[in-house]
Structure 1
Amino acid sequence: MVVAAQPDRCPRRRRPVRREARPRPPPSGRPPVTTPSYALSFGRVARHPAIIVFAALAVVHLVLVAADTGLSQSVTKALLVPALAVWVVAVGGPRLLVVALFFSWVGDVALEVDGMFLLGMAGFALAHVCFVTWFVRNGALAGLRRRWWVVLVGLVAWAATITALWGPLGDEEPGLRLPILVYSLLLTATAVTAFGVNVLAGVGGALFLLSDTLIALDIAGMSRPEPGGVWVMVTYLAAQVLLSVGMVHTDRVRSSIHDATGDAVHTGGSIR
């Protein structure tokens, strides 16, 4: 007698399939934003010892300039750019930036000595040659094809400034007309090419142009905002900081891309 198999009334329980938990998105619904290790941030820059020293020297110097103390302000002025250069070297900034800061220091020191104005202008002119060279090597021309209006604004600003200064300079310092004409072109070139690479550096270049325009107004015997010496130094120091931070940041970003891909980024020349 064959007995039919009875169905299993107690089937085995299936093991539940474990599903991997999906990461919860942040409350905003966007992926978290992390700052790359190569990128600069305000906090990273501000906490660096060399920048702290630079900021302290800047405050002391501006107070001395406002008080018109003479020799003591010359000493603090001679220490400012070297402190900024120490930061650039410490973070591995571009070599051309270090050279530009050196020539800026030469200009700072020379302008504090009577009869050395042209030497000081020459020092700053060489600094601007370094700035323009670095910006062109790092894609300024390509950037300006997208921001063509920057070139137009720069040329209009240069022409307007020279037109306003030309007559008064002829009355006060006719021998400085040609040097100021050439130097102002270099200043404008720095501001324009900087905008082609990095907006922060571009603002720095524009402030450099403003600072030296205030000096030119004084030479030409024209009115300028008071206290004139304080405004000259505020705009100058801000210009050097913004140019330096903008150039270092751009250099680090381009270097990180180069390291990641193994191929040099084509920027019309060397990165550094």
Structure 2
Amino acid sequence: MMGWLWAVQVILFAAGTGLGMSDARRKSTEVRLPLWVRMLISLTLTAAAFALWRDDPASSSKEWIFWGMAWSFIGDLSMAGIIPWRHPMIGGMLTFAVAHVFYIAAFAAALHHEGLDLMNAGLAVVAVFYGLVLIAAWLLLIRNPDAPRLFNIGSLVYGLWIGAMASAAAAMAWSLGGALWLTAVGGLLFVVSDTIIGAAAIGGRLLRHQGYWVWLTYVAAQMCIVYAFTL
């Protein structure tokens, strides 16, 4: 089943890219995946995480991955405006922050299963790296004196929380290695994706085809995190 879901997601993204490019040429706009493609990819990723958990119901790490993906799906619905929030970005940050709690729990559980601890040298090294990079990115790309204070402070706190998740993913890979290095890649791609969003939505620094690059890095990040536990 995992192979089929993975193939469906790749096909959906490729088809969405084609549709987005065609629409952009016709309307002279940015390339963007259609909304239905974005939501369907997110939904099938949630289904894949659920199937992974149900294939191994005793695995707490796989259960937490499912809940993380489920909350990510809610975050996608929020950012798309399907779930109404007064400020969709704030709603998205809140729901994705919950998703990252579950991802961190999954990484800690995977280490605990092997008799290891999340608090290791890998975590310390990568946490310092991500902390410095994310603070620099916030200062240079995201912070905007003209934006509401809530957005500026919220984006900094949320960015550091993403860094914590990415650091936990790297710490797990540091200890367990193998295919779980994909989770470290996923954490890094999450940082890239959300930095692009923050720089555009708050900092006003637009990247050409920004929406497309956000989803390319975001989908790759989620696939790395979900499917690493099947390998």
TM-score under structure 1 length normalisation? 0.66
User: Partner residue of 2:100?
Assistant: 128
Which deviations, in whole Å up to 9, do the C-alpha atoms of 1:128-170 show, x marking residues without a partner?
Answer: 11111211233284573256422221121122122224642x2
2:191 paired residue among 195, 200, 209: 209
How far did residue 227 of structure 1 move? 1.6
How far did residue 116 of structure 1 move? 2.3
- 8 Å CA contact retained: 2:169, 2:184: yes
User: Partner residue of 1:229?
Assistant: 211
Which deviations, in whole Å up to 9, do the C-alpha atoms of 1:224-272 show, x marking residues without a partner?
Answer: 54221111111001000011122444xxxxxxxxxxxxxxxxxxxxxxx
1:159/1:64 CA distance change after superposition, 3 Å: same
Number of residue pairs aligned between Structure 1 and Structure 2: 203
1:142/1:86 CA distance change after superposition, 3 Å: closer
- 8 Å CA contact retained: 2:134, 2:160: yes
Counterpart CA distance in 1 for 2:118 and 2:95 is 28
User: Partner residue of 1:62?
Assistant: 17
User: Partner residue of 2:5?
Assistant: 50
Q: Which has the larger radius of gyration?
A: 1
Q: Map 1:251-270 onto structure 2 (within 5 A).
A: none
Counterpart CA distance in 2 for 1:163 and 1:233 is 24
SS of aligned partner of 2:17: helix
Higher helix share: 2
Provide the alpha-carbon RMSD of the alignment. Answer: 2.7
How far did residue 57 of structure 1 move? 1.4
- 8 Å CA contact retained: 1:132, 1:193: yes
Counterpart CA distance in 1 for 2:20 and 2:108 is 35
1:87 paired residue among 45, 48, 56: 48
User: Partner residue of 1:153?
Assistant: 129
1:116 counterpart = 2:97: no
- 8 Å CA contact retained: 1:62, 1:233: no
- Letter matched to residue 78 of structure 1: M
Q: Which runs of 5+ in 1 are unaligned?
A: 1-43, 250-272
1:58/1:104 CA distance change after superposition, 3 Å: same
- 8 Å CA contact retained: 2:186, 2:222: yes
1:96 paired residue among 64, 87, 91: 64
Counterpart CA distance in 2 for 1:221 and 1:108 is 21
User: Partner residue of 1:244?
Assistant: 226
- 8 Å CA contact retained: 2:32, 2:212: no
- Percent same amino acid among aligned pairs? 23
